[in-house]
Structure 1
Amino acid sequence: MKSIFEEDAYNELLSRIEKLSPSSERKWGSMDVAQMLHHSQKPFEIPLEKTTIKKPNILMRLMIKSFKPLLYNDKPWKKNLRTAKEFVVTAPKDFDKEKQYLLDLMAEYYAERNRESWKPHPGFGHFTNAQWGQMQYKHLDHHLRQFGV
């Protein structure tokens, strides 16, 4: 699995994001491209401690534990997967502003690529550095494929 912490993979993601435009059309889902860019910021904000999400209840945590490895394995995610309610975006967003903030978060996150430990994710718990990098790559790859780049 590629990792956003690998220079080639990081640069590939940057290049793919640059191919997006305000008129990029989705292949599936309900978010437009600006909303997708906003949505894609959230998984970076959590480990960078800029935001958090509510911890799930014990029953939900047990369910989450069973699919946690799907977050960072080699198998692409299915289309139209559900997301945490905190990640749902329905309000209109400004493409340029959302794109720039995502790029800024990515750069800040990439700068932490040699970090040895991260605070546990509020929903999924502990990830290794490798898993954090793979998960972030996989999430962005999923949404960039959603918009054909």
Structure 2
Amino acid sequence: MTNIEQKIKKEKMKSVLDKSTRDELIARIKTLNESSNALWGKMNIDQMLKHCVLWEEMIAGKKKFKRKFLGYLFGRIALKGMIGNENDLKHGIPTLPELKVKETSTDVESEKLKWITLINENANFPNPDFIHPFCGKMTIEQIGYLAYKHTDHHLRQFNS
């Protein structure tokens, strides 16, 4: 067990850096299908899958976005509000414009596989210098917590 995994277990918050948590999320992703409907929000299943793939690509450093001006002012406060407790993310949290998906013609199975692959890459987190466009510089542990909460939020959105 790595030092990061030991710290996560000690803090008892779920993180994508923990293998059992990744396995749980992947099992939930596999339950999604073309008929999955949102319990809240405006996204359909196609848009949610593509959004989550883009989000994972962002934290992995495969997609880069400029830092938001308001993020310099309020990003740390927002981050603390999102990961400073074990509460679920609230419905209606604003989405970064770059992660808003308008198209709806996604191959659900293909997008699920992309998402699962990206989640598995968190076993050896590839981007320790990640800077969130709104929240700013984050530790690897903070990224792991936020990635879990983001994934969990959208899986709950689609009743998975």
Decide: shared fold, TM above 0.5.
yes
| Cα shift at 1:60 | 4.0
| Cα shift at 1:96 | 1.7
Residues 51, 100 of structure 2: 8 Å contact kept: yes
TM-score for both structures, normalised by structure 1: 0.88
CA deviation string 1:16-41 (max 9, x = no partner): 00111110111001111121111112
Which residue of the partner structure matches residue 68 of structure 2? 56
Matches of 1:37 and 1:63 in 2, distance apart? 28
* Secondary structure of 2:62's aligned partner: coil
Letter matched to residue 95 of structure 2: T
- Structure 1: unaligned runs, 5 residues or longer: none
Q: How does 1:1-149 map to 2 (within 5 A)?
A: 1-57=13-69, 59-72=70-83, 73-92=85-104, 93-112=106-125, 117-149=128-160
Distance 1:71 1:52, change over 3 A: farther
Aligned length: 146
- Structure 2: unaligned runs, 5 residues or longer: 1-12
Residues 71, 136 of structure 2: 8 Å contact kept: no
Residues 53, 123 of structure 1: 8 Å contact kept: no
Matches of 1:111 and 1:39 in 2, distance apart? 22
- Pairwise CA RMSD: 1.8
Residues 34, 94 of structure 1: 8 Å contact kept: yes
Letter matched to residue 107 of structure 1: N
* Secondary structure of 1:31's aligned partner: coil
Matches of 1:46 and 1:112 in 2, distance apart? 12
* Secondary structure of 1:46's aligned partner: helix
Letter matched to residue 127 of structure 1: M
Matches of 1:148 and 1:100 in 2, distance apart? 19
Task: Between 101-110 and 7-16, report the one with greater CA deviation.
Answer: 101-110
Instruction: Return the structure number with greater helix share.
Output: 2
CA deviation string 1:89-123 (max 9, x = no partner): 1111221221111111112222328x8x3333343
| Cα shift at 1:44 | 1.6
Residues 66, 133 of structure 2: 8 Å contact kept: yes
